[in-house]
Structure 1
């Protein structure tokens, strides 16, 4: 780090204040840009398409829930000086077993999913390759970038992507001329008929899943390591998720203003974004449509970079703790375990680009993946109310309330996901 003051470098363990802290914002941006993927854009776009502004409150609540969870992860790292995986291991060996099962199955399927999403956007922008070809190229580029660079470069690139996403997505929302009074009315909680489970999914899906657990590692990699940095971490986290909120509100505005009153039905999944491209091309011209595709590509590829780095760091820490080691963040990025999981995210999933995903694997992925967020919320409640955290930094009523709400919400979503797959 090159900031001039000792406080800015973190040598004194004192967070900067005033304008200086804006220059230090970083990990929150990284977790936000990683968490906002094509799925989030599609979910909020379709919410606007089907219900207008009625579910805007749910998208905002989703950001609040994720702020609470990421804050808990960051506070654990800074208040205890220990990583999240060390805390999980304190709770018993079952956490290690669950984590290993989860990252092996989830990583295999997510790798193909993330590459396919980027391939979809890139093939629409540059049809010199098909979706599969661009998917493979995007995965390989993500692999090389994360393998050859460290956190400081990674953060700068992620800031570039969030700026690109902000310009394209928010500009699009402005161009469709939102009805401000109608939009504000969407902040009043209401539940349209038949929208209960969809609303829960919108709340739970906004802003990332397993990469929330990576936030504390990115905080440490930034040089924030002591309780004195907790105010800075909280500010950083809030900025990241306010940005996320702006993205999802912008996409809901597009769905509500451009599609809701037109009776246009979007396809499910990422291909719904291509339907939007067609609508934009017809109504606002090719330039606007192309800018949207650039934002779509930036959204999907930045998620590749964030997951490739963040979950590989988590896996590297898992391996180190199992082996009784206590490495620094920089050592995790250079470890064989980091590169092994990076390989697992990239190369084996390419096979799924050539074959339909096996049904049994889809069932296992859906059922196991749906259980990670309640696992994170419940373990944070356990850890942050325990003697492992200094009294001054344990949960207050607001943190406990939001984490408990998160746990209940995600348990309902997990149960729904499991029932859907089994039936």
Structure 2
């Protein structure tokens, strides 16, 4: 345990604040590994291919926005001893209905998306395997299920640390390999909007670094054993490391897009297929070893997102079912303690949701062109983030949160700005649907 230092007063009682220790960082690694999937890398890559380094500032602001959201989620869990589901439930029954419908539909679509995304680079690396994409997709889902089913949080965190280490080293290596133009990169820190870049800019700020998994961050810090406000400093250090890591990914992919594609006037396909195309370009420029390494990084990126969702969103679903069934409210009903002790990881709702993520979506793998599902996944993701930002704004400015730990001006400004940004992105996603 971290040493205690200093003291604060909360509702008349003294609380010893634990010293932040680099050795205890963990949930932030998990959220960074989960939040940055292949789709985020493609979005950043395409932004770099279209505008070079010009939107680098937007990617960095996006990381700051996500830091504020994750900090608010973690602070709610630590300051109140209540989970996000408990907080949402206190706002009225509409939140329970919203989350319940959302998590079931989203999980079905995400399961197929995550398995396919993990399978794409594996099918490219091993084209001789019978069944190709479908074989690897099914294997990815089953292996992800087994890794979460048979391990508790401590082992899960180690698995995610290995996966993020692989993709971190590979993406940074490729970014260095393409020889970044450092003066142009520093110039990209100036907030400039080129013609036609508004939607790409909003997408970079709002789209990289997680959607529903940001709400899972509070569950992961509880699973780590951080269950009260004395862990606030540790949580904040952990959260900053998470989005510093995310920022490195984003900047590295923007460099790759700017140097390999923008300078050569090359365009990539949208979606995960764009990463396969990039592998071909890397092979032409730097040889097969670099290309294969990139595909391995692509696979680690997709698989870490898959495993993280299988664990984190299943924890949220288990909390949701328990509160519906037994009317539990916060720490009085062992809501947080149960997460911290790992009991929820073995509960039937936790495992049922993992099965829902894994097996029913396999049927979608036989659709040759699941264009409608891809659109639905994008729209569903866009609908969750304004819900999270605006409900956090509500919860952390009300009597539900002890006065000392409510939002200040900076937190309110960041959450309000994030909520507005995500609403704009959500409306844009709906407008782009082929009505």
- TM category (shorter chain) comes to over 0.9
CA–CA distance in 2 between the matches of 1:254 and 1:364? 29
Structure 1 match to 2:134: 132
Question: 1:294-313 to 2 correspondence within 5 Å?
Answer: 294-313=296-315
CA–CA distance in 2 between the matches of 1:205 and 1:165? 19
Structure 2 match to 1:107: 107
CA–CA distance in 2 between the matches of 1:120 and 1:300? 10
CA–CA distance in 2 between the matches of 1:363 and 1:381? 28
Q: 1:390 and 2:392 equivalent? A: no
Counterpart contact for 2:17–2:232, Cα < 8 Å: no
Find the residue that maps to 2:269 and give its secondary structure.
coil
CA–CA distance in 2 between the matches of 1:33 and 1:359? 26
CA–CA distance in 1 between the matches of 2:263 and 2:369? 36
Q: Which of residues 235, 238, 241 in structure 2 aligns to 1:236? A: 238
Question: 1:58-137 to 2 correspondence within 5 Å?
Answer: 58-129=58-129, 130-137=132-139
Shift of 1:368: 3.7
TM-score, reference length from structure 1: 0.95
Deviation readout 1:322-353 (Å, 9 max, x if unpaired): 12243411121111000110011000000000
Counterpart contact for 1:102–1:369, Cα < 8 Å: no
Q: 1:190 and 2:180 equivalent? A: no
Q: 1:289 and 2:301 equivalent? A: no
Name structure 2 gaps, 5 residues minimum.
6-14
* Structural RMSD (CA): 1.7
CA–CA distance in 2 between the matches of 1:360 and 1:56? 31
Shift of 1:367: 3.8
Equivalences, count: 414
Deviation readout 1:141-160 (Å, 9 max, x if unpaired): 00111111110000011111
CA 361–282 in structure 1, closer or farther in 2 if over 3 Å, else same: closer
CA–CA distance in 2 between the matches of 1:361 and 1:116? 12
CA–CA distance in 1 between the matches of 2:37 and 2:126? 20
CA–CA distance in 2 between the matches of 1:222 and 1:362? 34
Shift of 1:16: 2.8
CA 287–358 in structure 1, closer or farther in 2 if over 3 Å, else same: closer
Find the residue that maps to 2:412 and give its secondary structure.
helix
CA–CA distance in 2 between the matches of 1:249 and 1:344? 35
CA–CA distance in 2 between the matches of 1:419 and 1:214? 29
Counterpart contact for 1:211–1:310, Cα < 8 Å: yes
CA–CA distance in 1 between the matches of 2:36 and 2:373? 25
Shift of 1:122: 1.0
Q: 1:375 and 2:387 equivalent? A: yes
Structure 2 match to 1:321: 323
Counterpart contact for 1:13–1:224, Cα < 8 Å: no
Counterpart contact for 1:13–1:226, Cα < 8 Å: no
Counterpart contact for 2:3–2:19, Cα < 8 Å: no
CA–CA distance in 1 between the matches of 2:321 and 2:288? 49
Q: Which of residues 325, 341, 357 in structure 2 aligns to 1:345? A: 357
Counterpart contact for 2:212–2:381, Cα < 8 Å: no
Deviation readout 1:169-205 (Å, 9 max, x if unpaired): 0011111111111001111111111121121112111
Name structure 1 gaps, 5 residues minimum.
none
Q: Which of residues 253, 256, 265 in structure 1 aligns to 2:255? A: 253
Shift of 1:13: 6.6
Deviates more, 1:193-202 or 1:369-378: 193-202
TM-score, reference length from structure 2: 0.92
Find the residue that maps to 1:421 and give its secondary structure.
coil
CA–CA distance in 2 between the matches of 1:390 and 1:231? 17
Q: 1:44 and 2:44 equivalent? A: yes
Counterpart contact for 1:374–1:411, Cα < 8 Å: yes
CA–CA distance in 2 between the matches of 1:39 and 1:365? 11
CA 33–375 in structure 1, closer or farther in 2 if over 3 Å, else same: same
Shift of 1:360: 6.5
CA 186–214 in structure 1, closer or farther in 2 if over 3 Å, else same: same
Deviation readout 1:53-82 (Å, 9 max, x if unpaired): 011111111111110000000000000011
CA–CA distance in 2 between the matches of 1:358 and 1:260? 29
Counterpart contact for 2:211–2:381, Cα < 8 Å: no
Deviation readout 1:91-130 (Å, 9 max, x if unpaired): 0000010001101111101100000000001111222431
CA 361–275 in structure 1, closer or farther in 2 if over 3 Å, else same: closer
CA–CA distance in 1 between the matches of 2:227 and 2:263? 51
Find the residue that maps to 1:116 and give its secondary structure.
helix
